[in-house]
Amino acid sequence: MRTQVAIIGAGPAGLLLSHLLAERGVASVVVEVRSRAYVEKRVRAGVLEQGTVDTLVAAGVGERLIREGLPHRGIELRYGGAGHRIAFEDLVPGREITVYGQQEVVKDLIAARLAAGGDVRFDVGEVTVHGADSDAPHLVVDGERIDCDFIAGCDGFHGVSRASFPDGMITEYERVYPFSWLGVLAEVAPSADELIYARTGRGFALHSMRSPTVSRFYLQVPSGDRVEEWPDERIWAELKARLETVPGFTLATGPVFEKSITPLRGYVAEPMRHGRLFLAGDAAHIVPPTGAKGLNLAVADVRVLTAAIADWYATGATGGLDAYSATCLERVWRAQHFSWWMTTLLHTFDEDPYAQRLQLSHLDYVTSSRAAATTLAENYVGLPYGDEA
């Protein structure tokens, strides 16, 4: 068969790319090795930048997001026995974040693509990339050849897309942190109206939420810890020890129905393009979740790629395609720095007392200086897009 754009991966990047291309009159096929049930239930990030929300709403897939998402106009930094609110409405007027699970975004996009007659194929077997450096790129999916003009690799860090680049072409940059995050979903109403980022001598903790009845928590844990080592009782005891550090705050508890451990690291692959093959989202970059940038970076990549491909079909211009990698990487590295900054600001490291005092001094500066707080706020809610889409 033939299509215009072959997309590998039915996560938020691949599905949104297919949807945005269809709005521009560009046909695509999305292939995914996992089942629809798996990708719709896979728990990932839940903080959407202002620009991400605006993109989804403008694309006609934000109805449920607007109805069920939880807008937040600030976050709390908790340390030293006190809470300090970073007020988005004051520091970056008109911009906020919305808490809405990534799996919910995926459900909305799948429903929209299928309702529009989009070609989304789940449970495929082997996928291989061919001819990326030619004018006739194609995929082979379970023995079937799919000819196309462009291939979009939206298949995550372990997918086939980045591995299809020629040996030695990609320069990899990586920072591995000496701890992991234990993530927990619990059937309990949130104990606060906004996210709480807590720095303690016991380690970092994050209080978040997914809905008025479901809360999301994270704990900094040693690298190598296993989920089996963290029974519910231990999780709640540690969350209470790290979050109940200000007068009058009590953490509500409830049944835990999902938990997992994720190592923290930052990763960037350069370039993000090889011929007619373009990487987007986790296939090209990973950020520690402290800055809440993973899904949002994928959306930013897709906006740039959509505009570049649509321009090529409309005018034959190659400027957007040629600039794709550099354009995306500018935002990627800004997000890498912000995520690193938030991680080093709030986590406990095995460092000398001098480094610990520096960390506390930096926290004092961020929570007392309007200029420093504004830097955090404008990066957290997401820097404005250009006019690419």
pLDDT tier, 389 (very low <50, low <70, confident <90, very high otherwise): low
pLDDT at 198 exceeding the cut of 80: yes
Mean pLDDT of 14-36: 97
Asked, for residue 378, whether it belongs to a domain, the answer is no
pLDDT tier, 147 (very low <50, low <70, confident <90, very high otherwise): very high
pLDDT tier, 218 (very low <50, low <70, confident <90, very high otherwise): very high
What are the contacts of 109-112 at 24+ separation with CB within 8 A? 109/12, 109/15, 109/16, 109/19, 109/61, 110/10, 110/15, 110/36, 110/39, 110/40, 112/19, 112/60, 112/61
Of 12, 19, 72, 285, the active-site residue reads 72
Are 188 and 155 within 8 A, CB to CB? no
pLDDT at 352 exceeding the cut of 90: no
Q: Which CATH number do you get for residue 105?
A: 3.50.50.60
Asked, for residue 279, whether it belongs to a domain, the answer is yes
Q: Where are the alpha helices (DSSP H) in the chain?
A: 12-23, 36-41, 50-58, 63-68, 88-91, 102-115, 160-163, 232-243, 294-315, 319-346, 353-368, 370-381
Q: Which pLDDT belongs to residue 139?
A: 98
Asked, for residue 148, whether it belongs to a domain, the answer is yes
CA–CA distance, 374 with 367 (Å, rounded to integer): 10
φ/ψ region of 192 (left if φ > 0, alpha if ψ in -120 to 50, else beta) reads beta
285 catalytic residue (yes or no): no
- 160-191 pLDDT, tens digit each: 999 999 999 999 999 999 999 999 999 999 99
293 catalytic residue (yes or no): yes
Number of domains the chain is built from: 1
Structural domain of residue 109, as residue ranges? 5-72+96-174+265-349
Of 79, 100, 324, 380, the active-site residue reads 380
41 catalytic residue (yes or no): no
Mean pLDDT of 71-96: 97
pLDDT averaged over every residue in the chain: 96
What the block records as the tokens of 1 is 């068969």
What the block records as the tokens of 296 is 């949002």
- 289-306 pLDDT, tens digit each: 999 999 999 999 999 999
pLDDT at 388 exceeding the cut of 70: no
385 catalytic residue (yes or no): no
Non-local (6+) Cβ contacts of 54 within 8 A are none
CA–CA distance, 381 with 73 (Å, rounded to integer): 9
Which one-letter amino acid corresponds to residue 166? P
Considering only CA atoms, which of 106, 86, 107 is closest in space to residue 97?
A: 86
φ/ψ region of 221 (left if φ > 0, alpha if ψ in -120 to 50, else beta) reads beta
Q: Which pLDDT belongs to residue 351?
A: 78
How many CA atoms, within 13 angstroms, populate the side-chain half-sphere of residue 214? 14
Percent of the chain with pLDDT over 90: 96
- 26-58 pLDDT, tens digit each: 999 999 999 999 999 887 778 999 999 999 999
Question: Cα torsion at 271, 272, 274, 278 (round to 10°)?
Answer: -170
Three-class SS state of 381: helix
Asked, for residue 155, whether it belongs to a domain, the answer is yes
Asked, for residue 282, whether it belongs to a domain, the answer is yes
Of 197, 218, 324, 385, the active-site residue reads 197
Asked, for residue 123, whether it belongs to a domain, the answer is yes
CA–CA distance, 324 with 204 (Å, rounded to integer): 36
Q: Which pLDDT belongs to residue 45?
A: 77
Percent of the chain with pLDDT over 70: 99
Asked, for residue 281, whether it belongs to a domain, the answer is yes
Considering only CA atoms, which of 170, 184, 90, 105 is closest in space to residue 373?
A: 90
Asked, for residue 211, whether it belongs to a domain, the answer is no
Q: Which pLDDT belongs to residue 71?
A: 96
158 catalytic residue (yes or no): no
pLDDT tier, 387 (very low <50, low <70, confident <90, very high otherwise): low
What the block records as the tokens of 6 is 């072959």
Mean pLDDT of 250-254: 97
- 305-345 pLDDT, tens digit each: 999 999 999 999 999 999 999 999 999 999 999 999 999 99
Of 177, 289, 324, 347, the active-site residue reads 289
